[in-house]
Amino acid sequence: MAKNYASIYNSANDSIALDQKFYIKLESSRGTMVFPLGTDHFLTIPGGSIAFEQAYDINQQRSGRHNQSLLKKKKTTGWNFSTYFNIDTAEGAAIATEIDQAVRELWKSLLGREQNPGGLVYDSATTPDYSFTLMEIGDKWSRQSPGAFVQGGNIQLPGDGEATIEWSGNAKTAYFIGMGLSVTANAAKEITVAVGEGERFQVGGAVMGIKADGVTRSTDTPDGTPRTITAIVGDVITVDGAVLTDMDGTGGNIYLVYYEPENPVAIDDSITGLVGSISIVGLSSQCVRSLNVNIQNNHELRDNCYGSDALAGTLFVPGERLTIEPSISLNLNHAIVGFFNRKVNFDAEDVTAILGDAAGRHFKLEFPKVQFNVPAFSVPDTGSIPIEFAGTAFQTGLDAADEITASFL
């Protein structure tokens, strides 16, 4: 059913969380907004968001006991959300489409290289060099973030829960765009919304026109080609592009709203740990309680450019080492005593995890060289004794870049 923007605009209800959607589209130039389509949608778990803020300090100039003014700091934009492992397990589905295109962009931004040797394979052999436009769309609002990139991913494969990955990162900025109604004739590229509604928009944000029925999109802003706001004076919104012909107001009221792609589609086939395996070379078959993997790019943010109040230039520099920290939970038994003592001797481990049916479409993680720390553990009042082995993944040789391989096969 088509979204009715007129109904949303006229509703006196507060905005509701259930309408949240995310879209990602790869940018050809870092920090330059591109406009996603319905195929750039992907499903997320509730709780994620784009966060924009600009901190300030109190001006320390002498003014008695009273605060006089403030000093603005750099603008910061961060984002995070979690996803299940949605894999298209349908027979005959193309291997390149077994995960959403938006999720492919996330993996490339996280690890750096994507290959397709009979599956989608990601590793760190290429330094991340990607940015994307991230759009978060609600009912009465949208956040639009150009210049987004992944800083970290936290993979959780529990033995008694759902397999998830939490994504987090930064972006150049975030435009917060709402909805307005134009009831007057508009001239050239200017749209006049109702009194007080101009403040619902921001210069740089992407908008589209919706006709009086609340559903039909203006031919001035077709799917994939919204207008960018270039100026706001009171309640007069100026947009880029050609002179308006279908949004001039002569044909009836026009709703000016945040850009949203038509016909969103996404893979809804969540793979859980009910089927799969986690193995360590040299360790007999064990009941693995969980495997968690924390991946951090540690990019240096370009927030120190003179004359800019936010990220600028290349937005980020991969100036720090990629950190990959697997953590595996095992129950204490005969074999684990030996495994524990191998940690005392700094023996490295070869770990492989498979999520899903290995005979069909599945997700696979490989760590050929993990150095686990010697763990401390406590004995519970009753039950088995779990031990958490936390460590760091290393490459197997100089410039091997094989500390992690993530594959959708």
Does 2 have pLDDT greater than 90? Answer: no
- Virtual torsion, Cα 324, 358, 290, 96, nearest 10 deg: 40
Domains of the chain: 5-115+130-150+163-175 (2.30.110), 177-258 (2.40.30), 270-408 (2.30.110)
pLDDT (0 to 100) of residue 250:
67
pLDDT (0 to 100) of residue 92:
62
Does 288 have pLDDT greater than 80? Answer: yes
Vertex 323, ends 321 and 324: CA angle to 5°? Answer: 150
| Residue for token pair 């009042």 | 381
**Across 51-76, average pLDDT:** 89
372 backbone dihedrals φ, ψ, rounded to 5°: -85, 145
Closest to 170 measured CA to CA, from 307, 298, 37: 298
355 backbone dihedrals φ, ψ, rounded to 5°: -110, 115
Instruction: Kindly indicate the confidence band of residue 1, based on its pLDDT and cuts at 50, 70 and 90.
Output: low
pLDDT (0 to 100) of residue 139:
96
**Across 40-51, average pLDDT:** 96
C-alpha span between 60 and 70 (Å, rounded): 9
pLDDT (0 to 100) of residue 117:
81
| Residue for token pair 């070379």 | 281
Residues 114 and 121 sit within 8 Å (Cβ to Cβ):
yes
C-alpha span between 391 and 371 (Å, rounded): 5
**26-30, 87-91, 390-394 — which is least confidently predicted?**
87-91
C-alpha span between 58 and 267 (Å, rounded): 49
C-alpha span between 135 and 79 (Å, rounded): 11
Residues 208 and 225 sit within 8 Å (Cβ to Cβ):
no
Q: Which residues pair with 325 in a beta bridge?
A: 294
Count of CB atoms situated within 10 Å of the CB of 405? 19
C-alpha span between 262 and 3 (Å, rounded): 9
Does 5 have pLDDT greater than 80? Answer: yes
Does 114 have pLDDT greater than 80? Answer: yes
More confident: 61 or 40 = 40
Does 156 have pLDDT greater than 90? Answer: yes
Instruction: Kindly indicate the confidence band of residue 335, based on its pLDDT and cuts at 50, 70 and 90.
Output: very high
Instruction: Kindly indicate the confidence band of residue 395, based on its pLDDT and cuts at 50, 70 and 90.
Output: very high
Taking the whole predicted model, whether its pTM rises above 0.85 is answered as yes
Residues 83 and 69 sit within 8 Å (Cβ to Cβ):
no
- Virtual torsion, Cα 238, 239, 241, 246, nearest 10 deg: -90
Closest to 323 measured CA to CA, from 343, 294, 286: 294
Q: Please, what is the average pLDDT of the chain?
A: 94
**82-96, 137-151, 384-398 — which is least confidently predicted?**
82-96
C-alpha span between 334 and 375 (Å, rounded): 16
**Across 68-77, average pLDDT:** 90
Buried b (16+ CB within 10 A) or exposed e, 223-241: eeebbbbeebeebebbbee
Q: Give the length of the chain.
A: 409
pLDDT (0 to 100) of residue 9:
96
Element (H, E) at 342: helix 334-344
More confident: 46 or 62 = 46
Residues 406 and 354 sit within 8 Å (Cβ to Cβ):
no
C-alpha span between 211 and 225 (Å, rounded): 16
Give percent helix, percent strand, percent coil of the chain, each to the nearest 5. Answer: 10, 40, 50
Report the chain's C-alpha Rg in angstroms.
25
| Residue for token pair 């009171």 | 234
E-strand stretches of 67-137 = 70-86, 113-115, 120-123, 132-137
Buried b (16+ CB within 10 A) or exposed e, 21-50: bbbbbbbeebbebbbbbebbbbbbeeebeb
Upper half-sphere CA count for residue 93 (Cβ side, 13 Å): 18
* % of the chain exceeding 70 in pLDDT: 98
**Across 38-54, average pLDDT:** 95
Closest to 191 measured CA to CA, from 200, 180, 202: 180
Give tens-digit pLDDT for 213-252: 999 999 999 999 999 999 999 999 999 999 998 887 666 7
Select the highest-mean-pLDDT range: 119-123, 226-230, 374-378.
226-230
Does 6 have pLDDT greater than 90? Answer: yes
Does 96 have pLDDT greater than 80? Answer: no
Does 91 have pLDDT greater than 80? Answer: no
Element (H, E) at 103: helix 101-111
pLDDT (0 to 100) of residue 316:
96
Instruction: Kindly indicate the confidence band of residue 54, based on its pLDDT and cuts at 50, 70 and 90.
Output: confident
Upper half-sphere CA count for residue 104 (Cβ side, 13 Å): 20
pLDDT (0 to 100) of residue 85:
97
pLDDT (0 to 100) of residue 249:
67
Collapsed DSSP state (helix, strand, coil) of residue 332:
coil
Q: Which residues pair with 209 in a beta bridge?
A: 256
